[in-house]
Amino acid sequence: MSCFICDKHAGITNHQPPGGYIYEDEHWMVCHFPAEQSVVGQLVIESKRHFLDFADMTDEEAASYGFLVKKLYAFIKQITGAERVYSLVTIDGVPHFHAHFIPRTSDSLTKGINYISQEKSCDEKDAIEIAQKLHAMFN
């Protein structure tokens, strides 16, 4: 059976992230979520290994995930000026571990679940620019 994220990592699908992958290590790949479905700076951590959720992580994946999330929060806040960064893991749309990190600035009219669930889109150019800045921070 085919997996969208596994296919994306292998370059099999045309659905590649704006600006390419920002960060990669032995367990994780990080990218900007598609611009037409996100706010600028919305990132996704995708597991390299195919598994569903936290219960399926190895100890090494779990440990490295925590360190990566800490860096992402700091970098997202610094680059976007976000007051908050929301994290969301549902695994409903694509059954492969991935987590969303959604920045919210202080001037946003909505917060919390209302902010996360609102219809979103950002400019592709802005998503690529943020991806490039974050890539430079990681490297």
DSSP-assigned states of every residue in 102-114: EEE-TT-S--HHH
pLDDT at 1 over 80: no
Q: Residue 85 has what pLDDT? A: 98
21: β partners: 31
pLDDT bucket at 139, cuts 50 / 70 / 90: confident
What six digits make up the tokens of 72? Answer: 């992402």
Q: What is the mean pLDDT of residues 14-37?
A: 94
d(CA 111, CA 91): 22
Q: What is the CATH number of the domain that holds 70?
A: 3.30.428.10
Q: What is the DSSP letter of 14?
A: S
> Among candidates 44, 48, 47, 50, which has minimal Cα distance to 17?
44
Phi, psi for residue 76 in degrees, rounded to 5: -60, -45
**Which residues form the domain of 60?**
4-138
Least confident of 29-33, 60-64, 116-120: 116-120
- The answer to whether the beta carbons of residues 3 and 94 sit under 8 Å apart is yes
Answer whether 6's CB lies under 8 Å from 119's CB.
no
DSSP letter for 90, please.
-
Q: What distance in Å separates the CA atoms of residue 134 and residue 128, rounded to the nearest whole number?
A: 10
- Please state, in angstroms and rounded to a whole number, the distance separating the CA atoms of residues 61 and 82: 27
Q: What is the model's pLDDT at position 56?
A: 97
**pLDDT above 90 for 41:** yes
Exposure of 27 in the CB half-sphere (CA atoms within 13 A): 16
pTM for the model: 0.93
Number of domains in the chain: 1
